[in-house]
Structure formats: structure tokens, C-alpha cells
Chains A and B, each alone.
Chain A
């Protein structure tokens, strides 16, 4: 499959691993910013293969994980109201709010529709003029153009029953926050290719000048990630600090200008609450005043999401530490025992980009031993065919 197979070639991957090992003279500390990268690193075994050579800290780039609890609670409250339907990406469904997840709310009679594109939510509103459709607009710079387009489409159609619950975040201010923090250990960044496809990479020049760390833009396939790691280590070993684009098949220096125009037209940069971080200055987007009629918070008279800051996870879940790279998912005492994808304590365990979910799915070292032994299953399968869909019976009737 083009653009996939050539970036998963095992021979090239092994060569890159060897080159990374021979280049590194010390165990450098790298942060991959995006949850998609985290999953790529874990799924393809890169993190464990290189564990002795580089320390990979997993960054905050999981939009679902950083969505404030207040926003999730509000979405749930809206879903329970008469004539309101919350439209959301499937990722948000199992993320726990302060008491519940959207999935549980649906089970309790809440109105929730999974969509694959914000424009589907606009179509939903068009088809159901008697319902208020609220789209839960979660995501980084990658998703914001699509939700901006949905707003413009709703305006064109003069829809009075469509609105957005905006929780869009911007990645670079979060990276700056990490670098400014006194306990920062990150020596180089693997920047998120998808975000840079939209934003371009010019804005990283000032970042690199200010913080003196290499920023290497990568894709999400194993070869992309390994090339990115190698480039970081080469720069660190030779004392260079540059912006390097290792995802040129998708990312240009200027980025996607028409997507940027859409975002600028509909949104303005704003301080935003991040789950686990509190408010990050310029850390997200809000609807411009011209489009406030599409703001679900305004329409449904909600107390501002900002009023409940700082928004941190519940005490047991240490998502804040995981998202800031202070805690490895497997070092969390609840990992795999009190917190699993089926009953998560926090968003990183359920989101498809969450770091805890990545370890749970792909990393053997991360699993408590009772998960790798099937002793609990054994007790169920006492009857030889108990797991089969078919039961067999012997009849008393013989062939006549």
C-alpha cells in the first residue's frame, strides 16, 4: 500500500535502529509531542527497541486527553436535555468526566451521535430542524479548519439549530509551557507532522532560537519516527539546534494556507484550559465575535468553562503527570489494575492517542503479570465447547 508499506520496511527500520545506536554517545531525552507518534512508537516496538539508547517522553498531544473535565461534563449535561443532540468524534465517548462518560450518558437516555466529520454534524442539523445539534469541537490545529468550515457552512445554510462546544487547542504554546517548567528534561522534540501540515514550520524558528532545542517534524510510520529520532540525535551529538522537516511528503514550510485562512476567519487565538495543565496562554481557539451565535456555551447559558480552573484530573488519575511527561504510564500505580481501557480513571487510557492506552495495547513490559496469564479465563472454560457458538447434542433417534 503506497505511503504505508515503504515506511514500514523492516530492513530499513533495522538499519536506522543500528545507525541511531552507533550515533548516540549518551541516553538523550526526546519528547514526541503527538499521541499519534506515541502509538506509532509503541505499536511498532520502537520505544522498547531503543529504550537503552534514548528516553522517549510522551508529550501532551492527545486532544481528547487535554479536554477539560468541565467541557466533558457540559457535553453530558447537554446530551440529557430535551431536543439537544451532541455530535462527537467516537474518541470522546469513553473519556470520563467528573462522574460519567458520554457513553454512559447515552445508555441513560442521552442523545449522542457519533460523526466522522464536523460537516456530518451540520447535515444532521439540516435533517433535524426540530433538534439542537451541538458538535463537540475537540482537536489541535489539524481539526480546527474542518470545524471552522462547519461553522461557515451552517452560516451559509442559515441554521439556527447548530452550535459548537469549542475545545480546540494549539500545540506550540504547550511545548513552550513544558520548556518553561523548572523540571523540564526534554532535550529535543519530535514535532507532530499532522499539525505542521496545517501550520507549517516557520513558527518553530523562534522556538528553537529561544529554547535552544532541536525540533524535528516527523510522520507517524516507523521509518518516519526512526528518521526523526536519528536526526534529533545527530543534532544533539553535534551541538546543532535546528528545525528539521523529516515529513516533507506532507509538510511544507508555509503549511496549508487556505486551512489557516479558514481558522483565522472563524477563530481567534485565546487562553485555553488544558486538562492537566491549567490555562495555557494562547493555548487554544475561541469563536470570533461574528460567530458567537454558534457558541454552545453562549446558546445554552453555561457558566464559562474557564470558571472552574485550574482543571486537573481526579486525584487518583495522574493524567496530568503523564501528559507533562513527568510520569511514565506504566509507573502509575493504577495502570492495568485500577485503570484499564474498559474502566478508565482518565482520558489517556481510553483515547486512541493516549499514552496509557498505547502502553496497555502494545507493550508487554507495561502489563501486570496477571494480565498476561489467563488464569481468570481458565475457570470459565470448564466445558470443552463453552467458548463455541455451537452446542452439540446426541439424540436418541437413529437412522431409520
Chain B
């Protein structure tokens, strides 16, 4: 319906007459080969990609691997604080990191809509490469398909991440016990609001910026400080903090009880949420995690996180209690414990 909104935040000036992706780029013939040789391979300085094998070979340092896969359909492709390329790398890397793995390898698949300017394509590939570099992961294989104009929204990505598990691996939410503290690593709701404002052209000044970032260092800091006391970590993506806590509550059959006053939020995100009628706890993050930590180690965990600039606002936001009124509850203004609803969905589609 609406025009291509990726233009708004695309950092490169677009030439109306510039080269664009055509269906022939995806047909496996000469143009496909040139797309790979001239655009993809030079961007990723990677031995595995150089010979275009059908499957990449990897040599691991450990017998225990973690694997994750994610599709990325965010609209617009560029938004304050990131783009679909960096998001696709952080998405896979963060899923590995919070699962207790050191991210090592990535696959990258591209579904490109006919007509996408090659300059935009290059810009996003560059973003993937830079982000992968920053996270010390190699893009080792991938695939490219082109679909006719109107059947996709510019560009869809898929990344599969492979990482090596590092002890101690958090045992997971079913191990959460009464009294465990719940920690959030930073202000909540930034990614969802940033993308929504960019897509709907809501004119907040300055525009809210996504928290999209790697969680490798914060998770490592947490492991180093309180390793065996970490019960579970999850990056609070779609559905936000509330969705993670509802899953955990179901897994351990306890109530996740929050205190509203302790939940870090920035003023711009709170303001936008008030205006749009959203709860920041329901809004997606892309560089913020929730952790359940044994009570005696919670203070040390927060202190360790606060030493990193990215997680300086980390805080204890609540604790696990015996199940009473609801799976997730919150103390608000009047100090009464109230249920926190599970996000019902559809409020913020296509944010990642």
C-alpha cells in the first residue's frame, strides 16, 4: 500500500535510476553468479564462502553445540538504531548467547523482492558483515532467491546460528525456585517502539532508537560473576518481558511477581507507550534480556551488569513466588498485587 518506507532511514542516498535487483538475479544463471561474486563474496571475507560449496564444513572445539534459526521480516528495513542486516545477526547471536553458547557460525539466506535497489542490498549486506565481525561469528553459507515485485516487502532474511556451549550452561526456566530474583538487563520496550515509530512515521523528536545489540558480553559478565546461580536467561524479543515471564511461569509453575517502580524504562519510550496505549512490558526488545538468579547472587549479578555501559541500567525487577492469583503479577501505584496480562499479539506486527 504505502511507499517504500525504508528510504526514510536508509543511510545511503538513493539514485532513482540506479541498478535494481531483477528476477534474473535469482535464476541461478549468469546474473546470480555475478550477484554472488560481485556483491556477496567481497562483503564477507570468509574462506568457506570463497569456493561456493554446497555445504560448509565446520570444525568445533567442543562436542556440545547450540543451534538456532530465525527469519527477519522487519518493516522498514532501516530504523533508528539498526537495520534488518544487523538485526538478523544479533537475533541469532543473542539466542545462542542467552542459551549459554559462544556464537561461532552463521548461515544467511536472502529472499529479495524484485526491484530492490542494489545500493540498498549492498548496504544491508555490509551491515550483516560488520555486525558478524563485531560478534566474532563467520557467515559460512547462504542462499539467495528473488521473488516478483509485490510478493515480498523489499527483503526478508533468515539466519541460522551455531555456537559452542560454555559451562555452566543455565539449566533453564524449569529450575526457577521460589525466592529467585528476576533481573532485566536494561530499559525495556525500545526496539518495538523504534520500529513502530519509523514505520508509521510517528514524529517523535528525537525518534526512539532500538536497543538492537549483541548480548555476548553482558551474558559473559553474568556468567563470570554468578555463573552457577543463573537459572535462566532469555532475550525479551517479541511479546517483551511479559511474554518471557509467562513462559517461565508455565515452565516452573510459580508466579513471576514484578514491582512496576523497579522496571527500567526511558522517558521517550514511556511517553510513546502512554500515547499509543501500550505497556512497555509487552513491547519487543532486541538487546535486552531477562534473567532468573538465585536470591543470594542477585545483587552481585546486577552489579556486574551495571559495570558494562550497555547494561548500566540493569535492575532487579521482581521475584519468583508460590503461584497464587496469576502466572505473572505486578505491584503498581497502590501497592496491590495485580495480574499482568499476557500480550495478546497483533499490536505491533513485523518488528523483527
Contacts and interface: CB of A to CB of B under 8 A. Distances in A.
A182 B164 CA distance: 73
B331 to A, nearest CB: 9
Interface string B1-35: 11100000000000000000000000000000000
Interface string A239-253: 000000000000000
A341 B234 CA distance: 26
A135 to B, nearest CB: 14
B172 interface: yes
A392 B99 contact: yes
A113 B66 contact: no
Nearest to B98: A390
A381 B326 contact: no
Interface string A369-400: 00111100110110011011111111111111
Given A85-B1, A384-B174, A364 B60 contact: no
A89 B347 CA distance: 12
Nearest to A7: B333
Contacts of A374: 249-250, 253, 323, 327
Interface residues of B, number: 56
B299 interface: no
Contacts of B335: 10, 14
Nearest to A381: B251
Contacts of B173: 387
A378 B335 CA distance: 30
A1 interface: yes
A394 B172 contact: no
Interface residues of A, number: 59
Given A10-B333, A342-B344, A372 B325 contact: yes
A208 interface: no
A378 B173 CA distance: 12
Nearest to B173: A387
Interface string B40-78: 000000000000000000011111111110100000000
Contacts of A378: 250, 253
A275 interface: no
Contact of A399 (B61, B327, B334): B61
B2 A124 contact: yes
Interface string B75-109: 00000000000000000000110010100000000
Nearest to A93: B346
Interface stretch (A52-60, A168-176, A282-290, A355-363): A355-363
A392 B68 CA distance: 9
A13 B335 CA distance: 10
Interface in B219-272: 234, 247, 249-251, 253, 261, 267, 270-271
Contacts of B65: 392-395
A260 B3 CA distance: 34
A127 B334 contact: no
A1 B99 contact: no
Contact of A362 (B3, B68, B339): B339
A46 interface: yes
A399 B61 CA distance: 5
Interface in B319-352: 323-327, 329, 332-339, 341, 344, 346-347
B38 interface: no
Contact of A392 (B59, B64, B324, B329): B64
A224 to B, nearest CB: 12
A397 to B, nearest CB: 6
Interface of A: 1, 4, 8-10, 13-14, 17, 43-46, 48-49, 85, 90, 93-94, 103, 111, 113, 116, 124, 127-128, 222, 341-342, 352, 360-364, 367, 371-374, 377-378, 380-381, 384-385, 387-400
Given A46-B334, A364-B339, 13 more contacts: A14-B335, A85-B1, A90-B347, A352-B277, A364-B329, A378-B253, A387-B173, A390-B66, A392-B165, A393-B64, A393-B65, A396-B63, A397-B59
Interface of B: 1-3, 59-68, 70, 95-96, 99, 101, 165, 169, 171-174, 200, 202, 234, 247, 249-251, 253, 261, 267, 270-271, 274, 277, 323-327, 329, 332-339, 341, 344, 346-347
20 contacts: A1-B271, A8-B333, A10-B335, A17-B334, A44-B332, A45-B334, A49-B336, A93-B346, A116-B202, A361-B339, A367-B326, A372-B324, A372-B325, A373-B323, A388-B172, A390-B101, A395-B63, A396-B63, A399-B60, A400-B59
